[in-house]
Structure 1
Amino acid sequence: MTDAPLITILDDEPEIRRLLAETLEEAGFRTLSFGRATEFEAALRRTAPDVCLVDLSLPDRDGLSLVHRLALEQGASVIIISGRAEVQDRVIGLELGADDYIIKPFDPSEVVARIRARLRAARPAVQAGRIASFSGWQADFDAYTLRNEAGDVASFSHAEGAVLRMFLESPGRLITRQQMQETLGGAAGESFDRAMDVRISRLRTKLGEDPKNPRLIKTIYGAGYIFLGEVDWR
Structure 2
Amino acid sequence: MTDPLPPLVTILDDEAAIREILTDALQEAGFRTRAFSRATEFEAALRTTTPDVALVDLSLPDRDGLTLVHRLALEQGAKVIIISGRAQVQDRITGLELGADDYVTKPFETAEVIARIRARLRKAPEKAQASTARFGEWIAHFDRFALERDGAETPFSQAESEVLRLFLESPKRLITRAHMQEALGGTAGDSFDRAMDVRISRLRTKLGEDPKNPRLIKTIYGAGYIFLGDVSWT
State whether TM-score is above 0.5. yes
Counterpart of 1:114 in structure 2 is: 116
Question: Is this contact kept in 1: 2:93–2:198, CA < 8 A?
Answer: no
Q: Which moved more, 1:154-163 or 1:171-180?
A: 171-180
Residues 150-159 or 194-203, more deviating: 194-203
Task: Name the CA distance, whole Å, in 2 between partners of 1:71 and 1:187.
Answer: 22
Counterpart of 2:209 in 1: which secondary structure?
coil
Cα drift, residue 2 of structure 1: 4.7
2:82 corresponds to 1:80: yes
Shift of 1:49: 1.0
Secondary structure of 2:126's match? coil
Aligned mates of 2:49, 2:33 — CA distance in 1: 12
Superposed displacement of residue 196, structure 1:
2.4
Report the AA paired with residue 147 of structure 2.
L
Indicate if the aligned counterparts of 1:54 and 1:80 stay in contact, CA closer than 8 A: yes
Q: What residue in structure 1 maps to residue 183 of structure 2?
A: 183
Q: CA deviation at 1:8?
A: 0.9
Q: Partner letter of residue 161 of structure 1? A: S
Query: 2:199 matched to which residue of 1?
Result: 199
Task: Give the % identical residues.
Answer: 71
The secondary structure found in structure 2 opposite 1:49 is coil
Segment of structure 1 superposing worse, 75-84 or 207-216: 207-216
Amino acid at match of 1:26: E
CA distance in 2, matches of 1:124, 1:181: 13
Say if 1:85 and 1:202 are closer, same or farther in 2 by CA, change over 3 A: closer
CA contact (8 A) 1:181 1:188 kept: no
Give the SS at the match of 1:32: strand
Q: CA deviation at 1:12?
A: 0.8
1:101 and 1:186 map into 2 onto residues whose CA distance is 11
| Partner SS, residue 115 of structure 1 | helix
Distance 1:74 1:146 in 2: 17
**In terms of mean alpha carbon deviation, does 75-84 or 24-33 score higher?**
24-33
Q: Is the 8 A contact 1:130 1:141 kept in 2?
A: yes
> Match of 1:144, as an amino acid?
F
Amino acid at match of 1:171: P
Q: Mind listing any 5+ residue stretches in structure 1 that lack a counterpart?
A: none
Q: Which residue of structure 2 lines up, in the alignment, with residue 144 of structure 1? A: 145
Q: Distance in 2 between matches of 1:67 and 1:42?
A: 15
Deviation at 1:160, TM superposition (A): 1.0
1:111 maps to a residue whose letter is: V
Q: Is 2:92 the counterpart of 1:90?
A: yes
Partner of 1:224: 224
Provide the secondary structure at the position in 2 that maps to 1:222. Answer: coil
Match of 2:62 in 1: 60
Q: TM-score, normalised by structure 1?
A: 0.90
- Range moving further from structure 2, 106-115 or 84-93: 84-93
When residues 112 and 194 of structure 1 are mapped into structure 2, their CA distance, relative to the original with a 3 A threshold, is closer
What are the equivalent positions in structure 2 for 1:162-181 lying under 5 Å apart? 162-181=162-181
TM-score, scaled relative to structure 2? 0.90
Check conservation: 2:40, 2:62, Cα contact below 8 A: yes
**For the residues of structure 1 that align with 2:4 and 2:40, how far apart are their CA atoms?**
26
Once the two structures are TM-superposed, the CA of residue 218 in structure 1 deviates from its matched residue by 1.2
RMSD between superposed Cα atoms in Å: 1.9
1:24 equivalent among 23, 26, 48 = 26
Deviation >6 Å, runs of 4+: none
| Equivalent residues, number | 230
